[in-house]
Amino acid sequence: MKPLLATARLQFHKDFPLGRAIELVPYLERLGITHLYASPLLTSRPGSTHGYDVTDPARIDPELGGEEEFRRLVETLRAHGMGIILDIVPNHMGVGGADNEWWLDVLEWGRASPYADFFDIDWDPPDATLRGRMLAPFLGKAYGDALQAGELRLRFDPEDGRLFVDYFGNRFPLNPRDYAAVLLREGGALEAPARAFTDLPTERDAMRRAAAEARAALRDPTLAPAITEALALFNEDSDTGRDRLHTLLERQNFRLAWWRAASDEINWRRFFDVNQLAGLRTELPRVFDAVHGKVLALYAEGLIDGLRIDHVDGLADPRGYCRKLRRRLETLHAERPEGLRDMAPILWVEKILAPHESLPADWLTDGTTGYDFMNQAAAVLHDPDGEAEITRIWTERTGRSGNFDDEAIPARRQILRESLSSELFSTAVALHRIARRGLATRDYTLTGISRTLTELLAHFRVYRIYAGPGGISDADRRALDWALAGARRSVRVADRDLLELLGEWLAGTGLRDIKPGLRRQERVRAMVRFQQLSAPTAAKSVEDTAFYRYGRLLSRNEVGSDPEQFAITDAAFHALALDRNRRFPRALLATATHDHKRGEDTRARLAVLSELPDLWDAALARWTRLNAPLKRDLGGPAPDAADEIMLYETLIGAWPLDLAPQDRDGLLAFRDRVAAWQQKALREAKRRSSWAAPNEAYEQAAQDFLAGVLDPDRPAQIVADLHAFVERLAPAGTINALGQTLLRATAPGVPDLYQGTEFWDFSLVDPDNRRPVDFAARRAALEGNQAPVELLPHWRDGRIKQAILRRALALRARRPSLFLDGSYTKLAIEGNRCRHALAFTRGQGQQHSITIISRHAARLLSQNHPHTGPSAWEDTAIVLPRSLASLHWRDALGGGEAIRPGGRLRLADALARLPVALLEAG
């Protein structure tokens, strides 16, 4: 087995099953990948495009090829000395439909189901109509309208003898105690089997056994005509038939409802605001074992080598969960095949970190999935000198604020009001219950608590805190204090005392003094409720709302990034890398993911605008003037200025390098991709349209505007102008992209390659970033085995990026200890062009490497080519430490002469042939 040196992320679905990955293994090995990093493989909803809607955590998805194909894949990987890391989803499951047995059992039996506590259901909500029941918000229209339209049909399943209501494939099983109400007819063929349901025992297990026996009797084929006749009474198109069905439904353990009702009334935790994803109580031992049994068995058998934990912040106790999972993996490690025991299990968590936040070491993970590195690698490529001008351009042309918080805070309030109001209400109820127990606090109202809680969440700068029975960490205390300080400025004066009280309760103040029992449980439960609400509030309001409103520079609107942070210095980048090398040397390093808002090379090109704000301002002046006739008047221009500018950013960022302004078919294909992004962007922004209430007129005006902008026959020649502007950005953007690639491959951590991004990645938000990959072209390029310097003249086809990645990963393979255990040291750069480069060294014993990238290169380029040439660097040189000055350095990227630079490594020499360099010694 190769050590963990580099991963390749593949997204599996029915059109890219496990068998396709088997074909790619030899290619990935030659590229330098040591471990496949698989999207979720456990059984998910039929047709799932991502696998995060798991319905059966005990089976490999048959739609992907099932366990047989999975074992074939692992066998192939092992034959090439490679491993596999599996993405798992412990926070939620796919529900609705007809394929989640746990969920269906809860619908059928309610609280009597053995799976009732698997899901985070409040069986005693304030709404009396939901006491002992659960909301089932899966209807596409109001319940009464669906009933009137005959869309709710009572059915019988002859395979298992169950009665259920069907709604376009969504299955809602009846409580067996109600079967008699449907089937019992005196003297009829169904009398005897129907009466069996009237005498079900009260003890749970006995009741379930008796119901199963009674259902088995219904499977008698001779009873089919009588069952059909009985059901017809509930399905007849008449007021009487509808009344019968409605009366029957009102007795069930669920209440069918329009999907819109969920935001206000749902009484179970969802993943964000997605009704089809129900939260799991993985903190309970029985649930943990059921959710993880299969993957732990795979690890013990040697079929996987580690896990990636999706949305760890959704769990009740992320720290306790990660520590427990680590212990389980380490316990099973001894059971693995002998040849697989050298590498400790990998455990990565998907965690969004604020710029000032770090992952707690005591979670016992190997680090995050790399969003933090993605932010750092991008931010260091932005020119901080352009921030003021870029901000001015945005504010003056749109009339919107240049301060991201001015978009994010209102968005948080809106999300809590419109999308997560039921979750906010349940959290407020939990806190109100605590208030009612104290004489000094009993007069704080539920409404006041909800109002104050909203302001506290509106100012939260992190996804969540982790306070609990053990107390609150200093970092969490600072995060909570920051939010409290913001809320003090916006909360009502009369609510300020309540705000301070909530701050104490949420921090766990005084919790240790409360004896174990109901009061203590209520306090802890309220804290968890708050923490599980703050995470989706952050995600939905920031990434899925404010990111689509704030368009100062879209390359900074990325998952894991704070758009308020325009750039970071090289010193900040080095400090963060050094910290990661010390604390999480096996953390994943990503620059593209299945969740990114824009492809890594789209962002790299847009970053060039930070260097050329004057050209950007002039271009916007031309385009907005020439395209003004394309707008429609809908009580204001459509699209408005903000949507128009973000459209231009998207066009120039994602424009394919081989798309010519005369290429009609290419322009049409590009227009369709951007149109899909545009519709999603407008709805996510929730300013002029939304998913809940699409503004079709505005969306059509925006689509027509896009079509006009990309019309090659327009006299204004906007397409040619756009193309010319892209040509001005593209060389510097390519330099950024190659630098980003080399940073990922050589910085502390484990570099990840998202599927296909070894070539240029000018993708947009999903589903655009999950399009099929032309692996045949990538295999052919790899087999050509050309050096990067040979491919530089052909930089537009992307092969140079693959070649640089391959050679960097080859160095990792030759010197694994250098990158797994080696030190990290920033290298000082002196000279007139020092701010245009970044360099560091890795060292382990006698082995050393130097990474050098060019950055902020737009004004250094003298031609339409992604290389500055030696003369641009003038006297700039890297100052080598004495320990490195006498070494003999070789070019790890190929094509360069070996050098012995002494104490100063001239960039004119190191970057003479390429815009990046990777040197090795020892």
Q: DSSP letter string over 628-639?
A: GGG-EESSSEES
Alpha-carbon distance 580 to 615, whole Å?
A: 37
Q: What is the phi/psi pair of residue 843, to 5°?
A: -145, 140
Q: How many CB atoms lie within 10 A of CB 820?
A: 16
- 3-state SS assignment for residue 306: strand
The total number of residues written for the chain in this structure: 922
pLDDT for 899 equals 82
pLDDT for 186 equals 84
Alpha-carbon distance 719 to 721, whole Å?
A: 5
pLDDT for 894 equals 87
pLDDT for 265 equals 96
Alpha-carbon distance 920 to 810, whole Å?
A: 12
The answer to whether the CB of 349 falls within 8 A of the CB of 361 is no
Q: What is the phi/psi pair of residue 225, to 5°?
A: -60, -40
User: 237 CB contacts (<8 Å, ≥6 apart)?
Assistant: 150
The answer to whether the CB of 894 falls within 8 A of the CB of 851 is no
pLDDT for 922 equals 85
Residues of the chain with confidence (pLDDT) below 70: 895-896
Cis ω before 639 (30° cut-off from 0)? yes
Amino acid at 594: H
Q: Which residues of 225-235 are buried (b: 16+ CB within 10 A; e: fewer)?
A: ebbeebbeebb
User: 590 CB contacts (<8 Å, ≥6 apart)?
Assistant: 369, 370, 371, 373, 374, 744, 752, 754
Estimate to the nearest angstrom the gap between the alpha carbon of 899 and the chain centroid: 44
pLDDT for 895 equals 64
User: 218 CB contacts (<8 Å, ≥6 apart)?
Assistant: 156, 161, 183, 193, 227
Amino acid at 917: A
- Residue 377: enclosing H or E segment and its boundaries? helix 371-379
Burial of 783 (0-12, 13-18, 19+ CB in 10 A): exposed
How large is the C-alpha radius of gyration of the chain? 30
pLDDT for 422 equals 97
Q: How many CB atoms lie within 10 A of CB 490?
A: 14
The number of helix segments (H) and strand segments (E) in the chain equals: 33, 28
Alpha-carbon distance 520 to 908, whole Å?
A: 67
pLDDT, tens digit, 9 for 90 and up, residues 62-120: 999 999 999 999 999 999 999 999 999 999 999 999 999 999 999 999 999 999 999 99
Amino acid at 741: T
pLDDT for 419 equals 97
Q: What does pTM read for this prediction?
A: 0.96
User: 20 CB contacts (<8 Å, ≥6 apart)?
Assistant: none
